[in-house]
Amino acid sequence: MTDSLSIRDNRTGKDYEVAITDGTIRAADLKQIALDGDPGLATYDPGFVNTASCRSAVTYIDGDAGILEYRGYPIEQLAEKSSFLEVSYLLLNGELPTSSQLSTWTHDVTTHTFLHENLKQFIQGFRYDAHPMGMLMASVSALSTFYPDASNISDADNRQLQITRLIAKMPTLGAFAYRHGLGKPYVYPDNDLSYVENFLAMLFKMSEPKYAADERLVKALDVLFILHADHEQNCSANAVRSVGSSQVDPYSAIAAGIGALYGPLHGGANEAVLRMLRRIGTTDNVSDFIAGVKSGKEKLMGFGHRVYKNYDPRAQIIKKACDDVFEVTGVNPLLKIARELEKIALEDDYFVSRKLYPNVDFYSGLIYEALEFPPEMFTVLFAIGRTPGWLAQWSELVQDKEQKIARPKQIYTGFRTREFIPMSDR
């Protein structure tokens, strides 16, 4: 068997042969299929539903089988046996760290958690009701002005320094944005604490000299960060890569990823799920709500995925984490509605025939709420967890010799070459 595709252009009767590599053809190879004077054949693919934009060795997903692996390690094993900083190291470096590599990495991240005081003032400038995702996006982008050296993206040591800074400072920025909304004083990082404990301390500490978080809650949040750490070429990773392809500094590229994540079809879905569950109110209203979804009036938020046509493996793990968290915090009453929605949807032909299953966002919001986060903070938590994945994707992009500045084609549907009409004649 030859790994090639034979194409006949029925407009001209000409035959072409195009190489197939790794199950793909090169879109540029189609350019040779051209009518006289025409730029050649292109593909039309809104939303990149069947177009590979890069080669990547970071994350593997088999959506039909419900498999997710980071650098070849199944998500279930990482969630059970690893920690978020260890998984971050794995995503960024390709291998699990040795014990000394992990302590150096943990030390490096821990010693970069503080923000420049001017950045604190920048955050203070937001209105009292500013959405924390808007604050996070703006302050990450502002970081690029504090570290102008970050524009030197061709230097590996320099890239590593910015990566460490970003992973270290995201929880501080997220916590400051949260405290700003409450009008509470910002809590500075405590470098004696672990990554997650320090984040919880910056969020919730009041006058106590040392913040002590419940170990089970620390573990649950660490697992949630692991589950969110990467998801191959999703909307925000694509935004990071697209903006990064202009060779801008990583803070600007990650700010673009945060913007993409903010949307309700992406990371904003967990916030939307919680609002949806509150609106449904009681299990008695579930069947009416499902009828509304089936008639196209609204969406069942937290269901469906571009890639998973099976149960999202992250949702399975989160369901288990829910039980652990509720053991500490008491059961969230919305859980009953979520379980009823899931039960009905998994049996209903509308959802079954479209292969719509719960995704990562369906249960994560319930945990976040049990941990006393307001819904506006949910996507911030997602962003903190996703930062190592964005940076691994960005790092891979900037070292990939095949990558070019992102610049899709269009099919132009507008007017051509019109004569300008003076204002008096319009």
To ligand CMC, the closest distance from the beta carbon of 267 in angstroms equals 5
Integer Cα distance of 400 and 245 in angstroms: 10
Q: Quick count: other Cβ atoms within 10 Å of Cβ 410?
A: 8
Residues 226-255 contacting ligand CMC, CB under 6 A: 231, 234
> Among residues 112, 165, 169, 266, which is the contact residue for ligand CMC, using CB under 6 A?
266
Site pattern 212..231 for ligand CMC (x: CB under 6 A): -------------------x
- 189 touching ligand CMC, by CB under 6 A: no
User: At CB < 8 A and 24+ separation, what contacts does 307-311 make?
Assistant: 307/61, 307/63, 307/232, 308/61, 308/63, 308/66, 308/357, 308/359, 309/63, 309/64, 309/355, 309/357, 310/63, 310/64, 310/65, 310/66, 310/355, 310/357, 311/66, 311/357, 311/358
- CB 236, min distance to ligand CMC, A: 8
Q: Which is nearer to ligand CMC, 50 or 417 (CB)?
A: 50
* Helix, strand or coil, per DSSP, at residue 9: strand
Q: Which is nearer to ligand CMC, 172 or 234 (CB)?
A: 234
Q: Is 379 in the site for ligand CMC (CB under 6 A)?
A: no
267 touches ligand CMC (CB under 6 A): yes
Q: Report, in Å, the least distance between residue 133 CB and ligand CMC.
A: 13
Known catalytic residue: 228?
no
Q: Interface with ligand CMC includes 265 (CB under 6 A)?
A: yes
266 is catalytic: yes
In the bound state with ligand CMC, the residue whose beta carbon lies nearer, of 345 and 371, is 345
Out of 86, 361, 369, 376, the only residue in the binding site for ligand CMC (CB under 6 A) is 361
Nearest 5 degrees, angle CA 378-CA 253-CA 303? 35
Q: Contact, 255 vs 227, CB < 8 A? A: no
Q: How far is the CB of 307 from ligand CMC (least distance, A)?
A: 8
Note whether 269 binds ligand CMC by CB under 6 A: yes
Determine which one of 15, 305, 324, 348 is catalytic: 305
- Strand order through the sheet with 59-62: 59-62, 67-70, 73-74
Helix (H) / strand (E) element for 17: namely strand 14-19
Question: Which residue minimizes CB distance to ligand CMC?
Answer: 304
Q: Look-up: residue for tokens 């691994």?
A: 392
- Selected binder of ligand CMC within 120, 306, 309, 339 (CB under 6 A): 306
45 is catalytic: no
Q: How far is CA 48 from CA 45, 52, 252, in A?
A: 5, 8, 23
Token duo for residue 404: 């070019």
257 binds ligand CMC (CB under 6 A): no
Asked if residue 133 binds ligand CMC (CB under 6 A), the reply is no
Q: How far is the CB of 365 from ligand CMC (least distance, A)?
A: 11
Contact 159, 250 (CB under 8 A): yes
Please, what is the minimum distance in Å from the beta carbon of residue 300 to ligand CMC?
Answer: 4
Per the document, the length of the chain is 426
Contacts 24+ apart (CB under 8 A), 203-206: 203/175, 203/178, 203/179, 204/372
Footprint of ligand CMC (CB under 6 A):
231, 234, 265-267, 269, 293, 299-306, 354, 356, 359-361
The residues carrying an active-site annotation are 266, 305, 361
